Structure 1
Amino acid sequence: KYAEYMLRYDTTHGVFKGTIAVEGSDLIVNGKKVKFYTERDPAAIPWGETGADYIVESTGVFTTTDKASAHLKGGAKKVIISAPSADAPMYVMGVNNETY
């Protein structure tokens, strides 16, 4: 219910104009199921089963290549780290994104 509320009443973007529902532990947004996981270990999240190929790591905890690669063990194909990283390359749209 908390995720539903936060999506529906975002302080930056305003009230969400689409449809939102909760079914068990899943959030249904505009008719599409959104899965939530509360695992502390990214390797335990079954990304391969959910069909998620690209994962955005936004916890601020797994910011090195070694730590973020735990998502790959769960079946992800690529991990995008959204925070500054000590060892992963950083790409900025309009600056160096063409070097990826």
Structure 2
Amino acid sequence: ELKGKLDGAAVRVPTPNVSLIDMVVSTARETSAEEINAAIRAAADGPMKGILGYDSIPLVSIDYNHDPRSSICAIDKTNVIGGRLARVMTWYDNEWGFACRMIDTAAAMGRLI
């Protein structure tokens, strides 16, 4: 279903545990960087608060060390080419963020017991 519509890369940067995802997607309809960023902000400020985040100022990998969010979008880097080819860059602390999600998972499982 996503074949030919999604491409990206996780780029290890020179820190022990912070990485950058450079995601490129082909959208079903025309969009803009502003529309994508508005959707990211709405999710990060709403139902994904604490898991998804965004920054509008240029930061570097060390700024995200021990960030508990699973993904922090660099919305100043969002780009759309030709209306349908979108690029989003997002940072994550692959060790700390994962550990935080495992705590969330354990807490959710505990509520089921």
For normalisation by structure 1, the TM-score amounts to: 0.29
Could you say which structure has the higher helix fraction? Answer: 2
Could you say which structure has the higher strand fraction? Answer: 2
Higher relative contact order (CA 8 A, sep 6+): 2
